[in-house]
Amino acid sequence: MKNKLSQLKSSLAEIRDLQYIAAILSWDQETYMPPQGARERGEQLGTLAGLIHERFTSPKFAKLLDLAEKEVAAHDPDSTEARLFKVTRREFEKRIKVPSRYYQELSQTSALAYETWKKAREEDDFEKFRPSLEKIIALRREYADYFRPYEHIYDPLLDEFEPGLKTKEVQAIFDELRPHQVALIRQISNRPQVEDTALHQYFDEQKQWEFGVEVITKFGYDWQRGRQDKTAHPFTTSFGLNDVRITTRILPDYIGSALFSTMHECGHALYELGFDPALARTPLADGASLAIHESQSRLWENLVGRSYPFWEHFYPRLQALFPTQLGNISLETFYKGINKVAPSLIRVEADEATYNLHIMLRLEVEIALISGELDARHLPDLWNSKMKEYLGIVPPNHTLGELQDVHWSHGYIGYFATYALGNLISAQWWQAIQRDIPDLNDQIRQAEFGELLGWLREKIHRHGAKFEGQELVQRVTGSGISPKPYIQYLQKKYGEIYGF
């Protein structure tokens, strides 16, 4: 007869399978599903969400969890078994506070909201999306209420994506970061602007696709365990340790969109493809947190993909693909162009120096919406005023403003802060990597990424969700999440580009 820990793993494996099935349905909705399938897809996802919740909170599962606890006590606290139990217990304690009906309703609402968001974005019509947004806000407030008392209403929502982190901690990190980013942007604004018009021409979409595939193949993306498709808003999803899929967005008149979204999503995928096989079909076969996940995508997109050594190798190939557009553009001009700092409307295409300001804006807006300080009717006005305050520009329409991101349609309120935190962590990893791999730039210059990927696999990827985000950063770098390495990175990089 199986011991209780083995029985617990079997139950968790079935739950994980249901989660992967739901992920397949969501992936299909964002890539190939016809628009009229939204309502039925929402019902299907709602049914699965209910089943997952019921299995996770059933009296039988609760009893099994209690019995397994006695066995786990004999294991090392850092063992896979002990960490699996810790993560499972934490999820169980959260889920038993929330009724099954809630998860079903959120899944159904989100599936419909996503299709409404797509139409509203295409038609530049915020009012079309507002009723869906209001319903999602109400549902997320309801979720937070299940966790009273809390220090801040936003805490339970942030915890969904960044376990253990509090709103006040994120705000403190951002408060330390903000003045440095603002000062850097001012320094740059006083220097002659770099030229990037070469990036804004017609670039054949198929050739853009082919170049992106070449790059991420070099990075180490395994095409036997993944695939790439097109979507309105790029994302990565996993259906198991051997099926991790990415998407990208290709714009015919701007090469940067597909170029960097492909690298970005590949970074997410490399993380999930690097989990220890022993974690398969368990809650540990997941990212430590969304900030850790984002640190991987931003590392490959920016610290590798926007670096000079990277383009020393890849730029001749890009020129060969686009001789008319880039044949007479020097490497230095191209490099400075892809790193141009200028206020922009779209978060996903923002430069490294201004990107975090987009996130701070969204965090403030989300907190205002959830706390009730902001009525959704007035979201466009607040969005525009914050854009003016932080970036000095105002969106000309809703599509380029509050409708640009997909997250709220999915119910992902509490998510955005993890993007900026991921930026900070990526720089912390990079400092540690450069200490351990002194010739890293030479390797990148030769398009040799094996040692870099190996370092990430050993230090970060293989652990999956064994350790919470802050704990993993502490273990690898010796400190918690800190903005200092990122600030140093930006000042050095842009000081060289803009000459200050």
Residues annotated as catalytic (active site), given as ranges: 265
Amino acid at 50: G
Q: Nearest to residue 4, comparing CAs of 73, 90, 52, 77?
A: 73
Strand partners of residue 229: 247
What is the distance between the alpha carbons of residues 82 and 69, in angstroms, rounded to a whole number?
Answer: 9
Q: Contact at 8 Å (CB) between 426 and 170?
A: no
Q: Which two tokens stand for residue 141?
A: 């407030």
Q: Contact at 8 Å (CB) between 461 and 271?
A: yes
What is the distance between the alpha carbons of residues 35 and 31, in angstroms, rounded to a whole number?
Answer: 11
Q: Mapped to the 3 state alphabet, what secondary structure does the chain carry? A: CCCHHHHHHHHHHHHHHHHHHHHHHHHHHHHCCCHHHHHHHHHHHHHHHHHHHHHHHCHHHHHHHHHHHHHHCCCCCCCHHHHHHHHHHHHHHHHCCCCHHHHHHHHHHHHHHHHHHHHHHHHCCHHHHHHHHHHHHHHHHHHHHCCCCCCCCCHHHHHHHCCCCCHHHHHHHHHHHHHHHHHHHHHHHCCCCCCCHHHCCCCCHHHHHHHHHHHHHHHCCCCCCCCEEECCCCCEEECCCCCEEEEECCECCEHHHHHHHHHHHHHHHHHHHCCCHHHCCCCCCCCCCHHHHHHHHHHHHHHHCCCHHHHHHHHHHHHHHCHHHHCCCCHHHHHHHHCCCCCCCCHHHCCHHHHHHHHHHHHHHHHHHHHCCCCHHHHHHHHHHHHHHHHCCCCCCCCCCCCCCCHHHHCCCCCCHHHHHHHHHHHHHHHHHHHHCCCHHHHHHCCCCHHHHHHHHHHCHHHCCCCCHHHHHHHHHCCCCCCHHHHHHHHHHHHHHHCC
Distance between alpha carbon 52 and the CA centroid of its chain, in Å?
A: 24
